Structure 1
Amino acid sequence: MALTQQHFESPDALTSSFAATLVSILEEGINTRGRASLVVSGGRTPVGLFQTLSQADIDWSKVDITLADERWVSEDDDASNTRLVKEHLLRNKASQAHFVSPLTDDEDANSAIAEVESRISSMAQPFDALILGMGEDGHTASLFPCSEQVEDGLNMSSGKICIAVKPTTAPHQRISLTLPALLHSRNIFIHLTGDKKKAVLLDALENDTEIQKPVTAVVNRAPVTLMWAP
């Protein structure tokens, strides 16, 4: 287990430092390899980070951005992570970034796997930076402990990039990157705010299996930096 913890006095201080770190990572990717890739997560926590990043003065036309997971809803739905990313990150200077959508017109996410895997495979890889969140049940991306698909998502030898997921404790079918796809990243961050979520993460790492708290599967296999503020 390799978890580095960076604690900040406030969410604003976290946002400022985290944005600067990500800009440096993306610039290195562009300068070294010609393109850079960023995998983000949805939810309320990263909104401020997205807004700050959108103003960063880098060559966004050479940056590929996708989501670690997405709810299988239309883009105009309030629950859509794609909508969140487009409203808060893919604007201002970052409007020039190349967004790799995890959504198709298929009614069922299972029917979209081949297409979405093809899109993800076209991105600059390993991903330069991956930003994960975590639910209070220990899920990360859409690898839910309650879902029948969790073992498939955590399978390191499946060869799958994406899976369709139907959690039993949360609404909407999902599409999610698998654990091996998530781990194919040069820099992995878990972005959390609040004492409760940090306590869940640290307790999970001490006391739970990967099936019980899938976030531990990431930390068990790769260097991860926790970016946390109260």
Structure 2
Amino acid sequence: MAISELQLPATVTAHDFSTAAKLADALAGDVAERLRNALAARGAATLVVSGGRSPVAFFQSLAKQPLDWSKVTVSLADERWVPVEHSDSNAGLLKRYLLVGAAAKARFVGLYRPAANLETAALAADQAVAELGPIDVLVLGMGDDGHTASLFPGSPNLAEGLQADGARRCLPMLAPTVPHQRLSLTRSVLGQAAFTALSVQGPGKLATLRAALAGDDPQAMPIRAFLHASLDIYWCP
């Protein structure tokens, strides 16, 4: 089954690919084009991406795209509360695979801050995110439990994080089974992106999407908060 066979809302566009490499290259090309359009329109562009292992090929392809990277700001949809040097740091992942070569000229705004506790770190990240400006391109991922960014089902701050008009830009979040406390941008920030892409791979993620589309409670599956707005889904087996 292909993602285009799902009952998708009219505002959602599906892109099917036969391999992960083709998905990564197509997504990188589309993201770069959107960033170029933003640069032409106002002389600056902002890209927000998700971390984890899945986006590595996309990062590598995007880093090779012809762009005036010196005018691009890059940030993260979420982060583990660990130093950049830690193997699980999303900022570290970007520095290894995206912010290399010409793309190293981009301005990076990370979420991690050393602090006495997670809440204090989240408040500091909230202030940093305030300086991002409008998000031109947002690339999200999705977990098998329906989480996106670090908006996890069952996390204590999830209701606040899912508010469409909430005041907070970044909140402390907890993953129910995965180690490390998290920092996550909120729906009120993520939902304002001019272009949002959701990148997913494999039949498991297709089943998760099908389940998410079958219900309407974002508390149970936070990805639902983004499935009925303008969204491009990129999928491969």
Selected match of 1:88 from 94, 97, 101: 97
Provide the residue aligned with 1:103 in structure 2.
112
Provide the residue aligned with 1:186 in structure 2.
194
Per-residue Cα deviation, 1:54-82 (whole angstroms, up to 9, x for no partner) = 11121000000000000001111111111
SS of the residue corresponding to residue 231 of structure 2 reads strand
**Count of aligned positions:** 228
How far residue 114 of structure 1 moved from its aligned partner, in angstroms, is 3.1
Residue 28 (str. 1) matches residue 28 (str. 2): no
Selected match of 1:206 from 197, 214, 231: 214
Q: Is the 8 A contact 1:56 1:93 kept in 2?
A: no
Which runs of structure 1 show a deviation greater than 6 angstroms over 4 or more consecutive aligned residues?
Answer: none
Q: Is the 8 A contact 1:73 1:80 kept in 2?
A: yes
Per-residue Cα deviation, 1:87-146 (whole angstroms, up to 9, x for no partner) = 000001100000001011114221023322222121231x11000001100000000002
Residue 140 (str. 1) matches residue 148 (str. 2): yes
Q: Is the 8 A contact 1:132 1:140 kept in 2?
A: yes
CA-based RMSD of the aligned residues comes to 1.2
Q: Is the 8 A contact 1:23 1:58 kept in 2?
A: yes
Aligned residue identity for 2:38: G
How far residue 226 of structure 1 moved from its aligned partner, in angstroms, is 0.6
How far residue 168 of structure 1 moved from its aligned partner, in angstroms, is 2.4
Q: Is the 8 A contact 2:164 2:191 kept in 1?
A: no
How far residue 3 of structure 1 moved from its aligned partner, in angstroms, is 2.0
Q: What CA distance in whole angstroms lies between the structure 2 residues aligned with 1:30 and 1:115?
A: 28
Provide the residue aligned with 2:71 in structure 1.
62
How far residue 219 of structure 1 moved from its aligned partner, in angstroms, is 1.4
What TM-score do the two structures reach when normalised by structure 1?
0.95
Instruction: List alignment gaps of at least 5 residues for structure 2.
Output: 1-8
Q: What CA distance in whole angstroms lies between the structure 1 residues aligned with 2:90 and 2:147?
A: 16
Instruction: List alignment gaps of at least 5 residues for structure 1.
Output: none
What TM-score do the two structures reach when normalised by structure 2?
0.93
Aligned residue identity for 1:8: F
**Structure 2 matches for 1:119-130, cutoff 5 A?**
119-125=128-134, 127-130=135-138
Selected match of 2:225 from 194, 201, 217: 217
Percent identity over the alignment is 36
Q: Is the 8 A contact 1:146 1:169 kept in 2?
A: no
Q: What CA distance in whole angstroms lies between the structure 1 residues aligned with 2:166 and 2:18?
A: 41
How far residue 166 of structure 1 moved from its aligned partner, in angstroms, is 1.8
How far residue 208 of structure 1 moved from its aligned partner, in angstroms, is 5.1
Q: What CA distance in whole angstroms lies between the structure 1 residues aligned with 2:116 and 2:70?
A: 31
Residue 42 (str. 1) matches residue 55 (str. 2): no
Provide the residue aligned with 1:6 in structure 2.
15
Selected match of 1:79 from 88, 91, 97: 88
Q: What CA distance in whole angstroms lies between the structure 2 residues aligned with 1:202 and 1:182?
A: 22
